[in-house]
Structure 1
């Protein structure tokens, strides 16, 4: 299967957008957590300063105590999720919310303030801010903590909303990319349409008004190639025509010589036979030169209507044999071909069948997966196995294979070859020759 440029670029863009989306989600989650941590840390720092201000010397001047009126009530409710622990020389003060459970703080002397996460009194994660102060001559360490159990749902909600917004943006980006790609490839679609019209003979050159600069060399070279091929075909046809017409004059002179009384009768008959062969060859070579082929002007042809007209004409030509031409062709079969080529093809095959038929010729046509199929059969003497083998061999001209089925079948073979089709010979159930033609159908 041929890969699609549109599909490949679109899938590549979607893949890149997904990678970008995943990276964005990871960074966004990290920054949301950092912002939340900064917010909580700022609040813990403020609470630590409040606790420092509430710290007062004990009346015995040997220790310190806290002014309960300056402590926030949330630190008084057991397991409220907000805790503090103040480490003093020879004493430790804890919030009532800890319910006599100590905070498991590290014992190292790292720089302060310090932020870390430790397990809380109920196993929940606590964000702890440790700050060190000097009160008088004493070193005081204040650790304020807040449970992340209440903060995690808010963080997850923020992450979900941000992921939803990013997903919507991703979908919009994919849709826009698809439309941009479609718009960007529209000149190629127009080029494809014009190439099909060119192949059908509906135009002579490619013209794209809004082509990209990258396409202009392709269009120009294609147009130059078309012009060169047309010129070459024209010269070929003219050369054949000129040669044929140039030969007609000496052939006519020889014909007059053959008809003169001075000519020996046996020589006269031999000369007329050879001159007839020359004239037939000239006429058929001219017909070959006129074959348009698959690259010619193609049109939609109703097969049944065209063959009915041909059958009527050939019945008149072979009226002395009273041949019955039977058609098995559905009315709706339409093919794309040059009309002159089609008439030449069917006409030669039908004429050959009528020449050899005794009383009956059958013609059938159908559309198959492989294209258009046409079969002609006659009830004539047919060909033996050796003759069928000779005329079925590829690489030699039909008019050189079997004298009984000469130039007409040769012209048919040339036309079928021009359309990349197949010509098959076999014995007919009627007793004569069966000729099957298959033509691929395009556009």
Structure 2
């Protein structure tokens, strides 16, 4: 499973944080407004109860109301505001006209409270919220008359007020969330821009356009740039040391092999031929190992495939012209590979040498991009080889025609070069009738 991108992680983190924050704000503001609204209704009901209590008198033993509250909603049937005074004892309760023939009683209240109010069924069948207050008043004889005052209002009125507050609040939070998401997106876009610039710089280094990263970037990125430049510097030093050792080894082997070649001149003819062949074999194998040590050290170089092919064809043209061999090139000029030009030239040159040796009248070069690789096909119309010999030819250097051709290290070296860059070399039957070598190399990095 591939790791999520940094931009995706930042966006996901911002979205989750914004969502949690907005939900928290929604919950807190709704609770605060609900508490505020409940307090307002509670204060209103308390004021009505106090006004009723102040107007009550005891005329002997009977509770009477000197005057009713002036709010017209109490006078209208189903007016939305209700009150009832229930004396202890056998006296019938006093109540507002808005209650019509409904009588409030604790026994009829629902078990659950709503915002601190009791719930009951109103005169119109809709729920009402009831506030209850116990009071007492002294009679003329000094005895206390106890009574209960019920004040109520429509539950739908409070729910409508809450909904009227929630709708604009939801719209406001939605707009706020959209703005915050946009701000988070812009922040991520601007904040990650230095990384995009760094990526472009690294691509330039890989492509061989620059030797180090030159952009400064923000303070958070500077340590990374410094470490990358140090790594590039150490790598360059290691490459130079490897090249120096390879050069020293080449010079160290050259003289002893030359001396040995002179010494075997005094041997009999049959032995001299074998000895010279073995000396040449040692020389070529040493060259192969030196080549392997050098291969891939310039993987940051960019090489034009058509440019290298054109140069090789120009070098081999005098030979192919004398043999009557035609060339056919089908390579896009924009195709470039991530490899050192010398390595690409040697890998292709070994294959083309083999093709020139056995072609009858035509050699074909085709290249195309497949994913992250460039596939180069070099085919000829020569005698070719049996498919069961392809693997042996790559390992032991047997020529395409099946005849021995020196030590036959050319195709093996080409395969080693391809492997050093993450590609490969394979053999197949060409549609021209001869052998086809399929060489794959990585596409060069492009600045983005």
Q: What SS class does the counterpart of residue 50 from structure 2 fall into?
A: helix
Partners of 1:267 and 1:431 lie apart in 2 by 40
Q: Quick one: which of 150, 162, 168 aligns to 1:155?
A: 162
Q: Which has the higher contact order (CA 8 A, sep 6+)?
A: 2
Cα distance, 1:363 vs. partner?
A: 1.8
Aligned-partner SS, 2:156: coil
Preserved CA contact (<8 Å) 2:363 2:380: yes
SS in structure 1 at match of 2:135:
strand
Q: Give 1:328-347 correspondences, 5 Å limit.
A: 328-330=330-332, 333-347=335-349
| Distance change (3 Å), C-alpha of 1:107 and 1:330 | closer
Q: Deviations over 1:162-191 (max 9, x none)?
A: 122222222233333333344444444444
- The alpha carbon displacement at 1:95 in A equals 0.4
Q: Does 1:15 align with 2:33?
A: no
Distance 1:295 1:308 in 2: 22
- CA offset digits 1:355-410 (Å, max 9, x no partner): 22232212222223463211111222322345324125xxx464899843823223
Query: Does residue 412 of structure 1 match 2:411?
Result: no
Looking at structure 1, the residues matched to 310 and 213 of structure 2 have their Cα atoms a distance apart, in angstroms, of 38
Name the CA distance, whole Å, in 1 between partners of 2:102 and 2:383: 116
Unmatched runs of 5 consecutive residues or more in structure 1: 109-113
The answer on whether the counterparts of 1:293 and 1:419 sit within 8 Å (CA) in structure 2 is no
Range with bigger deviation, 264-273 or 33-42: 264-273
Moved more, 160-169 or 277-286: 277-286
Matches of 2:388 and 2:57, distance apart in 1? 126
Tell me how far apart the structure 1 counterparts of residues 326 and 166 of structure 2 sit (CA, whole Å): 85
| Correspondence for 1:232 among 238, 253, 257 | 238
Tell me the secondary structure at the aligned position of residue 436 of structure 2.
strand
| Change in 2 beyond 3 A, CA 1:275/1:349 | same
Q: What residue ranges of structure 2 are gaps of 5+ in the alignment?
A: 110-115, 139-143
Please name the residue that 1:166 is paired with.
173
> Aligned residue for 2:43?
42
Distance in structure 1 (CA, Å) of the matches to 2:314 and 2:392 = 32
User: Which whole-Å CA distance do the structure 1 matches of 2:323 and 2:282 have between them?
Assistant: 28
The TM-score with structure 2 as length reference comes to: 0.82
1:328-358 deviations in Å (ceiling 9; x for gaps): 3355545454333333322221122102223
1:426 offset after TM fit, Å? Answer: 2.1
Verify the 8 A CA contact 2:74 2:97 in the aligned structure 1.
yes
Comparing 140-149 and 338-347, the one that deviates more: 338-347
Aligned to 1:131: 133
Q: CA deviation at 1:147?
A: 1.0
Task: Please list the CA deviations of residues 72-118 of structure 1 after superposition, one character each: whole Å capped at 9, or x if unmatched.
Answer: 2221111001110012242410101111211233599xxxxx84222
1:307 pairs with one of 294, 306, 309:
309
Q: 1:262-298: per-residue Cα shift (whole Å, max 9, x none)? A: 8866666666655555555565555555544672322
Q: Secondary structure of 1:412's partner? A: helix
* Contact 2:246 2:290 (C-alpha < 8 Å) held by counterparts: yes
Instruction: Tell me which residue corresponds to 1:105.
Output: 106
Distance across 1 between alignment mates of 2:27 and 2:365: 73
> Could you tell me which of 197, 209, 217 is aligned with 2:216?
209
280, 293, 300: which one aligns with 1:296: 300
Q: Is the contact between residue 423 and residue 442 of structure 2 (CA under 8 Å) also seen in structure 1? A: yes
Q: What is the distance in 1 between the residues matched to 2:101 and 2:350?
A: 113
CA distance in structure 2 between the partners assigned to 1:376 and 1:331 by the alignment = 17
Equivalent in 424, 429, 432 of residue 430 of structure 1:
432
- What is the root-mean-square deviation of aligned Cα atoms in Å? 3.5
Identify the residue that residue 113 of structure 2 maps to in structure 1: none
The change in CA–CA distance for 1:289 and 1:107 in structure 2 (over 3 A counts) is: closer
The aligned length equals: 428
